[in-house]
Amino acid sequence: MAGLNKVTVEDISVKGKKVLVRCDFNVPLKDGVISNDNRITAALPTIKKLVAEGGKVVLCSHLGKPKNGPEDKFSLAPVAVRLSELLPETKVTFANDDIVVGENAKKAVAEMNNGDIVLLQNTRFRGAEETKNGEEFSKELADLVNDEAFVMDAFGSAHRAHASTAGVTKFVKETAVGYLMQKEINYLGNAVEVPERPFVAILGGAKVADKLNVIANLLEKCDTLIIGGGMAYTFLKAKGYEVGTSLVDNEKVDYCKEMLEKAEKLGKQLLLPVDTTITKTFPDPIDGEIEASVVDADKIPADMMGLDIGCKTCEIFGEAVKSAKTVVWNGPMGVFENPVLAKGTIAVAKALAETDATTIIGGGDSAAAVIQLGFADKMSHISTGGGASLEYLEGKVLPGIDVIADKK
């Protein structure tokens, strides 16, 4: 899985052809205004390549999770506006059809010149036809581009077998991955399959259950596995420690014991917090003032909860990163949204920023933390996919990649 043996945008010629590109424009919106356009700018290299080559470029994406059919707040109209600003030399038309492939879309595509762009409405406006990979919707999308070509560039949706990520490929002649997909798979794939060693993996976040298979898979692959965040307390309980009112998954305590034994058997280093930042209650609001203190990991009082790693742990984790050549990080070390409980996440981000290793941030909260804390430009790669990068780290085959043609 490390190397990407898929047809890429470099391998296909689209001059004069209609090409459907599945992007990830699932951007945060506040009152109809995009608050972070990272996902749009990440898609530009592929879009620009297809436009420059004279393709007729039809873009599609989902945005949010509309539960009640088409709603204005989930419209891709703001994305069309931002694309026009980012590509001032290119004609960008927004085809506003509640059924996605409607009269507006058909007319706009029919009138395209080479190098034009049409953006379709939110694919999730088709509900289960999109999310359950409906054949009719898949066909409609393919028909819109005369069944000519499809480029998959939405890594954040690659773990979903939807009509616009997988189903459509059955009905088009040529399929390829875009530059963003290529970059994601090369970074994540190489890190897990052929890493430069020492390879350190850092896992955080709230729940052990979300990362069961990732823990098992990474223990096989890495030299050191660091565990922080809420999930660390289930591991500490597995070691027989008192964890107070900290977040614990009691059903997974035995699993954590197995992982500790597995690490020992494989000769791998599994690092857990040696001290922890504790509070009486969870902060409410999440960024509100809160009193906290630091205790050793085996000295958490019965009526307190751990919400971040402590200073000694920050140093130990930082040291482990210093000697690494490859580091993959998925999940914050604590409640990073609160300044009092962000110290562990900041310390890990700083350690990664200062190392010469290849540093890969696996989407989701860890990506948000790195960006929010101002370390983004110091990382080798920040994944655009939370769930997708996790499944990739588990060693799973992602349907949105699997369906793309292999290079001959």
Which amino acid is it at 109? V
Q: Which of 205, 334, 364, 400 is catalytic?
A: 364
Instruction: Judge contact between 187 and 329, C-beta under 8 A.
Output: no
Q: Which of 39, 56, 126, 237 is catalytic?
A: 39
Q: Is 288 one of the annotated active-site residues of the chain?
A: no
199's tokens? 């390879």
Q: Bridge partners of 269?
A: 224
SS (H, E, C) the chain: CCCCCECEHHHCCCCCCEEEEECCCCCCEECCEECCCHHHHHHHHHHHHHHHCCCEEEEECCCCCCCCCCCHHHCCHHHHHHHHHHCCCCCEEEECCCCCCCHHHHHHHHCCCCCCEEEECCHHHHCHHHHCCCHHHHHHHHHHCCCCEEEECCHHHCCCCCCCCCHHHHHCCEEEECHHHHHHHHHHHHHHHCCCCCEEEEECCCCCHHHHHHHHHHHHHCCEEEECCCCHHHHHHHCCCCCCCCCCCHHHHHHHHHHHHHHHHHCCEEECCCEEEEECCCCCCCCCCCCCEEEECCCCCCCCEEEEECHHHHHHHHHHHHCCCEEEEECCCCCCCCHHHCHHHHHHHHHHHHCCCEEEECCHHHHHHHHHCCCHHHCCEECCCHHHHHHHHCCCCCHHHHCCCECC
Q: Which of 59, 9, 10 is nearest to 39 (CA)?
A: 59
Q: Is 178 one of the annotated active-site residues of the chain?
A: no
Q: Is 55 one of the annotated active-site residues of the chain?
A: no
Q: Which of 91, 207, 350, 396 is catalytic?
A: 207
Q: Which of 54, 102, 387, 395 is catalytic?
A: 387
Active site positions, annotated? 39, 207, 364, 387
